[in-house]
Chain A
Amino acid sequence: MRRDRPLDRAGEDLAHRLASSTTRRSFIGVIGAALLGLTADRASSAGRAPIPGTERVAGGWFGFCGHYWTTGSCKGPYKLPRVDRQGKPLRPADGRPVDDAGRLVNDLGQPVDEAGSRLLGANGVPLPPGTRTRLCQDGVRRRYKLDDAVLQGSWYRCCDGQIRKLWDCCSASRTRINGDASLRGYCYGNRRVFCVVYVDTGVPC
């Protein structure tokens, strides 16, 4: 083999450098560190759950049917941000009103069980009503200190046989709930999309 080829000379130089700068112990240490870093990254990625509303679901949606962009869901008592027409939380499975703690409530806001009977405390006294606030206008303002958060533009899709209204919660913030730059979406004025909620209208489609 001819020794004067450029590749041969480069390989020889590399070998010399490695030999002069790296001991066997330090070399094994480097390999070990690399392996540790790789497994740690994979462990931390597996442990970090995606922001609700950003994970891919059947049909090519993000988080839930009708949501075709990547902005996360507004935080509420459930992972799915289902709300009524005023923006207050509903149980996603059946649309029954819930309070901020996720408890079923009656028309007076009193916590009830599945049958509609008042929930009792440990002392047998019916539990008092908790708070039931709007995910966007109240929850986003309270949690993220965005005083201008409001529900603005919306769009419609057919989901589970009924028309679903998907609604942008908008504010002037340039950061969305995902933590990155917010998008215009269907917001207007100087606002951008902070998070998303939806209303199941019950209109058949």
Chain B
Amino acid sequence: MVETFTPAGCGGRTRHILAVLMFGVGAIAAAAALGGVLGLGGSLLPSRVLLAAVAAACVLGALRELGALHLPLPMVRRQVPEAWRRERPLAVWSTGYGAILGAGFGTYQPAATFWVVCAAAVALGRPAAAAVCLAAFGLGRVLMVAFPGDPLRRLAGAHRALRPANALALLVLAALLVPGAASAAQPVGRSDPSALGGVVAFTERSGGTSRVVVRVAGLTAATFPDARMPAVSGDALAYVDALGIRVVLWRTGQEILRIGGRVDTPALSGPRIAYVETVGPRTRLVVRNFSTGTVRVAKTVGPGVDLGRPALSGQLLAWHEAAGSHNRILLRTLSGGRTRVMAEGRRSGLTVNPALVHGYIAWVESRAERSSLFVQRLPNGRIRRVAGALGPTSHLWNTAIDESHVYVTRWNLVTNTAVILRARRP
């Protein structure tokens, strides 16, 4: 069929170009749609099992390519409907052919690789990413008809070399996937955003380890290994490592403060750092001025109460307290000591994880399986919902807000994968 995509077969150069273009649209769209569906299905399944299945598919595929295993592949054992080219308009048959070939299983499938890719799309668990990956398959289909001459015949002639190479590639992929399958239960992805003045920092997790990444447009990202939970303010970066909290100048890595002990979740603003410290059974929220050395305990709570990740902006300190049937977000003016309740949840609602920037506060509220990101202009502006997620798959957690955007971590609770969402600040 492919040989009909020629000026002679299409009836002129222009029609040939149109046919190839429409074939391309059909092929890429069908492949992307297939990838989206597979990725969506995979997002509902446990990643560890899926990765193991992909590794097994790679091995089976490699054995098949080497001729060591006779494994029939699911396919429609026929060509595309040749009659379409005579009976239908060019736009219909060329797009239709593209869709059939782009979907992969509509005609003969000589190699197992397509099915391995489909399994990988399921394991990816992300519809958009899987759609992009499968779209590349569709693009490959387009290149077969777009290249002059007869690329398929040339490829067929090289199959003696191609099949072993294909088998080797599948085996290498299987070897890479095995550690992933073993550690897939570990959280992966990007989370815990912090942002200010065009600088964005976050935790990046993979393979059981984490690092802090600091990004600024136009600069190479700065990374800090074995670290997590960053807070950025100007040139200063605070993060949590094995020894406690470390504050550095992120451009040079020079350390300016070290806080030891059972400390976590720092927040930075100017010369002040706020963090949560566990002392025996109690947890306290501490604010330290590393210019003057003063240390103040803003709040102490008992066992079982979650203080979460505080937020600092100038003289404002925000944090959440969550325990039992009560939870709330509090905002305190450090100079005056006055505290107000910004948001409150009772049994079924949870308000947590505030973020602050001059004049604005953001937080996450969840009710049952639904979580939402809210932003409010201080002191008493209208509360606006800017993002949402629905369980049991997705859940919003840590937040950040800067001069123009608001950020939130969205966790996939099936695959334990995190991404950071960004929305324009209302």
List residues of chain A with CB under 8 Å of any chain B CB. Answer: 57-61, 65, 68-69, 85, 153-159, 163, 165, 186, 201-205
Chain B residue at minimum C-beta to C-beta distance from A201: B413
Cα of A204 to Cα of B366 in the assembled complex, Å: 17
How many Å lie between the Cα of A115 and that of B185 in the bound state?
20
Are A203 and B187 within 8 A (Cβ)? yes
In the complex, what residues of A have CB within 8 A of residue B281's CB?
58
User: Could you say which of A60, A156, A201 contacts B324, with CB atoms under 8 Å apart?
Assistant: A60
B182 CB to closest chain A CB (Å) equals 12
**Is B110 close to A, CB under 8 A?**
no
- Given the complex of chains A and B, what is the CA–CA distance between A66 and B112 in angstroms? 47
B residues 399-426 near A (Cβ < 8 Å) are 411, 413-414, 416, 418
- When the two chains form their complex, are residues A68 and B324 in contact, meaning their CB atoms are under 8 A apart? yes
Which of B65-73, B266-274, B347-355, B373-381 lies on the face that meets chain A?
B347-355
Q: Which of B92-100, B160-168, B287-295, B299-307 contacts A (4 or more CB under 8 A)?
A: B299-307
A130 to B19, CA, bound (A): 62
Question: Which of B306, B350, B416 counts the most chain A CB atoms within 10 A?
Answer: B306
Report the bound CA distance from A57 to B305 in whole Å: 11
Determine whether B219 belongs to the interface, using a CB cutoff of 8 Å to chain A. no
**Which residues from chain A contact B305 at a C-beta distance below 8 Å?**
59
Closest to B366 in A: A156
Given the complex of chains A and B, what is the CA–CA distance between A186 and B352 in angstroms? 20
Closest to A86 in B: B46
In the complex, how many angstroms separate the beta carbon of B195 from the nearest chain A beta carbon?
Answer: 19
Q: Known contacts A59-B324, A163-B413, A165-B413; decide if A155 and B369 are in contact (CB<8 Å).
A: yes
With A60-B304, A163-B397, A202-B187 known to touch, is A68 a contact of B369 (CB < 8 Å)?
no
Summed over the interface, the residue pairs from A and B with CB atoms below 8 Å come to a total of 80
Looking at the assembled complex, report how far the CB atom of B373 sits from the nearest CB atom of chain A, in whole angstroms.
15
The residue on A at minimum CB distance from B229 is A204
**B392: interface (CB < 8 Å):** yes
Q: A155-B368, A158-B352 are in contact. Are A203 and B416 (CB under 8 A)?
A: yes
Q: Is the CB of B411 within 8 A of A202?
A: no
A58: contacting residue among B187, B302, B413, CB under 8 A: B302
* Interface contact B46-A85, CB-CB below 8 Å: yes
With a cutoff of 8 Å between Cβ atoms, the chain A residues found around residue B85 in the complex are: none
Instruction: Evaluate contact between A154 and B411: CB separation under 8 angstroms.
Output: no
B325 touches A68 (CB 8 A): yes
The residue in chain A whose Cβ has the minimal distance to the Cβ of B185 is A202
Q: Which residues of A contact B392 (CB under 8 A)?
A: 154, 165
**A85 and B411 contact, CB distance less than 8 A:** no
Do B304 and A61 touch (CB < 8 A)? yes
Q: Which residue of A lies closest to B397 (CB)?
A: A205
Q: How far is the CA of A65 from the CA of B326 in the complex (A)?
A: 13
Contacts of B169 in A (CB 8 A): none
Is B253 positioned at the interface, with any CB of A under 8 Å from its CB? Answer: no
User: What residues on B are CB-neighbors of A85 within 8 Å?
Assistant: 46, 414
Cβ of B285 under 8 Å from chain A: no
Contact, CB under 8 Å: B366 / A202? no
Interface status of B191 (Cβ within 8 A of chain A): yes
Bound form: Cα–Cα A61–B305 in Å? 10
What 4 pairs across the A-B complex have the smallest Cβ distances? Answer: A59-B304, A60-B324, A58-B304, A58-B303
Give chain A residues whose Cβ lies under 8 Å from the Cβ of B302: 58-59
Are B416 and A202 interface neighbours, CB within 8 A? yes
**Contact between B411 and A163 (Cβ–Cβ < 8 Å)?**
yes
How far apart sit A60 and B418, CA to CA, in the bound complex (Å)? Answer: 30
Contact A158 to B416, CB < 8 A, known contacts A59-B303, A59-B324, A69-B347 = no
**Distance A202 CA – B368 CA, assembled complex (angstroms):** 19
Cβ–Cβ contact A156 & B391, under 8 A: yes
Q: Please indicate the chain B residues that have their CB under 8 angstroms from the CB of A201 in the complex.
A: 411, 413, 416
Whole-angstrom CA separation of A205 from B305 in the bound complex: 13
Least Cβ–Cβ distance between B169 and chain A, in angstroms? 29
Answer whether residue B308 sits at the interface, using C-beta atoms and an 8 A cutoff.
yes
Complexed CA–CA distance, A59 and B304 (Å): 4
**Contact indicator B186/A202 (Cβ below 8 Å):** yes
Q: Does B245 contact A (CB under 8 A)?
A: no
Instruction: Judge whether B391 and A59 touch: CB under 8 Å.
Output: no
Q: Would A156 and B303 count as touching, CB distance under 8 A?
A: no
CB-CB under 8 A from A186, the residues of chain B are: 368-369
Complex: how many Å from CA A186 to CA B368? 7
List, sorted by A's number, 30 A–B pairs whose CB atoms are closer than 8 Å: A57-B304, A58-B303, A60-B304, A65-B304, A68-B324, A69-B347, A153-B368, A154-B368, A154-B369, A155-B348, A155-B350, A155-B366, A155-B368, A156-B395, A157-B322, A157-B350, A158-B306, A158-B308, A158-B322, A159-B306, A163-B397, A163-B413, A165-B392, A186-B369, A202-B185, A202-B187, A202-B416, A203-B395, A203-B416, A205-B397
- Contacts A68-B325, A158-B306: A204 and B350 contacting too (C-beta < 8 A)? no
